Structure 1
Amino acid sequence: MKRIGILGGTFDPIHVGHIAIATLAMATLSLDQLRIIPNRTPPHKPAPLASDAQRMQMVQLACASYPQWAVSDSELRRDGPSYTIDTLREFATPDCQLVLILGADAAALLPVWYHAKHLGDYCMVAVMQRIGSPFDDQQIRQQLPNLGITQIPWAGMDVSSSAIRQRCADGASITDLVPASVADYIHQHHLYGAPRD
Structure 2
Amino acid sequence: MLGGTFDPVHLGHLRSAVELLEALVLDRVHMVPAAMPPLRGEPRVSAAERLALLSLGIGDTPGLVADPRELERDGPSYSADTLASLRREQGREARLVMALGHDAFLRLADWHEPERLFELAHVVVIDRPDHDATLPAALRELLVGREVEDGEALMAHPAGRLLRLRLPSRMAISATEVRRRLAAGLSVRYLLPEAVEARILSRGLYRHG
TM above 0.5, one fold? Answer: yes
Q: In the aligned structure 2, how far is the partner of 1:138 from the partner of 1:24?
A: 28
- Given candidates 93, 111, 114, the residue that maps to 1:113 is 111
Contact 2:127 2:164 in 1 (8 A): yes
Report matched runs for 1:28-67 at 5 Å: 28-67=23-62
Q: In the aligned structure 2, how far is the partner of 1:50 from the partner of 1:100?
A: 25
* Alignment match, 2:174: 160
| Amino acid of the structure 2 residue aligned with 1:48 | P
* Alignment match, 2:64: 69
Contact 1:117 1:144 in 2 (8 A): no
- Given candidates 150, 162, 173, the residue that maps to 1:149 is 162
Q: In the aligned structure 1, how far is the partner of 2:33 from the partner of 2:23?
A: 23
Q: Which moved more, 1:174-183 or 1:156-165?
A: 156-165
TM-score scaled to structure 2, two decimals?
A: 0.84
Contact 1:111 1:144 in 2 (8 A): no
| Amino acid of the structure 2 residue aligned with 1:117 | E
Unaligned runs of 5+ in 1: 1-5
The CA deviation string for residues 61-117 of structure 1, in whole angstroms up to 9 with x for no partner, is 111121211111110111121000000000002242110001111111111211111
**Percent of pairs identical after alignment?**
32
TM superposition outliers: structure 1 runs of 4+ over 4 Å: 135-139
Contact 2:143 2:162 in 1 (8 A): no
| Amino acid of the structure 2 residue aligned with 1:46 | G
Count of residue pairs brought into register by the alignment: 189
Contact 2:5 2:33 in 1 (8 A): yes
What SS does the aligned partner of 1:127 have? Answer: strand
Report matched runs for 1:67-106 at 5 Å: 67-92=62-87, 93-106=91-104
* Alignment match, 2:151: none
| Amino acid of the structure 2 residue aligned with 1:17 | G
Unaligned runs of 5+ in 2: 147-159
Structure 1 residues 12 and 115: CA distance shift in structure 2, 3 A: same
* Alignment match, 1:180: 194
Structure 1 residues 185 and 74: CA distance shift in structure 2, 3 A: same
